[in-house]
Amino acid sequence: MLDIGFWELILIGIVALVVLGPDKLPGAVRSVASVMRNVRQTANNLKAELNHELRVSELHQQLKQAEQKGMSNLNEGERNAIAELEAAAREVNSIHKEATQPNNSTSPTAEPSVENNKKND
């Protein structure tokens, strides 16, 4: 990422200590670390989203090729793309069914307490 060596980090630390002072330095380090963590997380999310979009585009292109062939004489990549799309469609349908079905779960019957079953002597 950044090509900063050990001595450069020491120099940055000394300058930060002189400029900020020992009382504000820990808070500044925490703030910088938090910002760097957020930037790294955002970059990772963007990369994952881009990879996902590229995969969707690739599957879409393979599906178009399969449709042009009339869904016969498909190569291995096209068959895999169709199978993956069918699996995704089944997953979406099952999630949709679960979300639209009313919750018919009944509460378990409560057992009578032991105190109510005791006989008075």
* Residue 108: pLDDT over 80: no
Contact 61, 76 (CB under 8 A): no
- Written as one string, the DSSP assignment of 65-108 is HHHHTTT-S--HHHHHHHHHHHHHHHHHHHHHHHHHS---PPPP
User: How much is the average pLDDT of 82-101?
Assistant: 82
More confident residue, 64 or 13: 13
Between the alpha carbon of residue 102 and those of residues 44, 91, 97, 105, 106, the distances in Å are 38, 19, 10, 9, 12
Does residue 1 belong to any structural domain of this protein?
Answer: no
Q: Please report, for the chain, how many H helices and E strands are present, in that order.
A: 4, 0
- Asked whether residue 31 is domain-assigned, the answer is yes
Residue type at 85 in one-letter notation: L
Q: What token pair was written down for 34?
A: 């938090």
Q: What is the pLDDT of residues 19-73, one digit of tens each?
A: 999 899 999 999 999 999 999 999 999 999 999 899 888 888 887 877 777 777 7
Contacts of 25 (CB under 8 A, 6+ apart): 16, 17
Q: Which residue has the higher pLDDT, 15 or 102?
A: 15
Instruction: Note down the domain range covering 16.
Output: 6-97
Predicted pLDDT at 40: 96
Residue 88 lies in a domain: yes
Please tell me the predicted confidence (pLDDT) of residue 73.
76
Report, as an integer, the average pLDDT of 69-88.
Answer: 80
113 is a domain residue: no
Name the pTM for this structure: 0.52
Within-domain flag for 108: no
Number of domains the chain contains: 1
Which element (helix H / strand E) includes 11? helix 6-20
Give the range among 6-10, 25-29, 106-110 with minimum mean pLDDT: 106-110
